[in-house]
Amino acid sequence: MKILKIDHLGIAVKSLEEGSKFWSDVLGLKLHGTETVEEQKVTTAFFPVGESEVELLVSTSPDGPVAKFIEKNGGRGGFQHVAFQVENIEEALAELKEKGVALIDETPRIGAGNCKIAFIHPKATGGVLVELSQRM
């Protein structure tokens, strides 16, 4: 598997407006745009930082994964995942399967920015939700 860079850091928030204040008002990062990904029950907001991004995630449904994360986190948002950009996501997933790594997604799906994405289960990573991403 060839990891190219940290693609983004995912931060769960209750509200994009409230969550954006620190990243834009305090740190001066510029909002690149927002996007709703219906399949994942989430709306995202991206703040570029060099070659990577901070991704704010707000749930569009009470049963969405971000809503469940916030509920487990005592009603607070916070760091939700790290995403690595890979050269070939299908090859990366095949390699991880071969190594017996627990995956949430055994095949890629389409995420924000029309990227192919897949998640590695936190039980395989020491408790961190890891996303693989391939820009198309």
- Boundaries of domain holding 39: 3-134
Contact at 8 Å (CB) between 64 and 114? no
Give the pLDDT of residue 136: 84
| Alpha-carbon distances of 21 from 13, 71, 124, rounded to whole Å | 11, 22, 34
> What is the domain count for the chain?
1
- The C-alpha atoms of residue 12 and residue 27 are separated, in whole angstroms, by 18
Contact at 8 Å (CB) between 109 and 118? yes
- The C-alpha atoms of residue 134 and residue 130 are separated, in whole angstroms, by 13
Give the pLDDT of residue 22: 95
* pLDDT tens per residue, range 82-131: 999 999 999 999 999 999 999 999 999 999 989 999 999 999 999 999 99
pTM of this structure: 0.93
Strand order in the sheet with 3-12: 33-37, 42-49, 52-59, 3-12, 78-86, 130-134, 116-120, 109-110
Count Cβ atoms below 10 Å from residue 27 Cβ, excluding itself. 10
- The C-alpha atoms of residue 37 and residue 14 are separated, in whole angstroms, by 16
Tokens of 57: 């995630």
* pLDDT tens per residue, range 23-37: 999 999 999 999 999
Count Cβ atoms below 10 Å from residue 66 Cβ, excluding itself. 26
Domain CATH code at residue 90:
3.10.180.10
The type of residue at 6 is I
Average pLDDT value for residue range 62-82 = 95
With pLDDT > 90 as the criterion, what percentage of the chain qualifies? 98
